[in-house]
Amino acid sequence: MKELLALFAQIAVSRKGPQDLPASWLLLVLTVAGYGVIRFIVSTVMPPVEQWRAHLIIEIAFTLAWYAVLLRTLGKPERFVQTATAIFGYELVLTPLFVATIYLSRQVAPDDILYVPLALVALALAIWLIRAGSYVLKAALELPIAACVFLTILQIFAGELLMRALSTAPATAAPT
């Protein structure tokens, strides 16, 4: 287990890639479950957004679907298991830091001396998440890094749009 987390950390800093992981469905399932557990722990420590469980399930399903479709579309479906494991693996390592930083920055008033440093750390972690995802895609798809950065940002954007669309309840008219 320790070796696997070390490998995910190496992927997070772009020293290793999805090709360094075994193509194991069991490892993918365990990594996704580990990611879910980490997000659960983080959400119990810090007050989550409403319906965080549903958001987590949607996020995981969307991420798996995104990479399955992307890899199939670009003719590399055999790389799905390793790529998805790498994506959830580096997120398992980085997400607690990112969520904690976002949470702390929301607790601090904009005129507080800690606000700007926390916002800068959150921005650095967001860039790091995009960078790590882009390097995983570069290894998996063999595309230029600029294309992989674009695809990573597009996945984040599309996932956020999906989450907002599913979270927005239709307005109902008030009874008269």
The count of C-alpha atoms lying within 13 angstroms of the C-alpha of 5, restricted to the half-sphere facing its C-beta, is: 8
Is the Cα torsion angle 145, 146, 151, 152 positive or negative in sign? positive
Position 117, amino acid: P
Q: How far is CA 40 from CA 6, 146, 152, 156, 163, in A?
A: 21, 33, 24, 20, 18
Contact of 20 with 7, CB cutoff 8 Å: yes
CB 58 within 8 A of CB 158: no
Amino acid residing at 151: L
**Calpha distance 125→131 (Å, rounded):** 10
Amino acid 50: pLDDT: 66
State how far the Cα of 63 lies from the Cα of 66, in Å rounded to an integer: 5
CA distance 27 to 110: 42
What distance in Å separates the CA atoms of residue 121 and residue 126, rounded to the nearest whole number?
A: 9
State the Cα–Cα distance between residues 74 and 85, nearest whole angstrom: 18
**What distance in Å separates the CA atoms of residue 33 and residue 37, rounded to the nearest whole number?**
6
pLDDT one digit per residue (tens) for the chain, 176 residues: 788 899 999 999 989 999 999 999 999 999 999 999 988 887 777 765 667 778 888 899 999 999 999 999 999 999 999 999 999 999 999 988 887 887 887 788 888 888 889 889 989 999 999 999 999 999 999 999 999 999 999 999 999 999 888 876 554 444 54
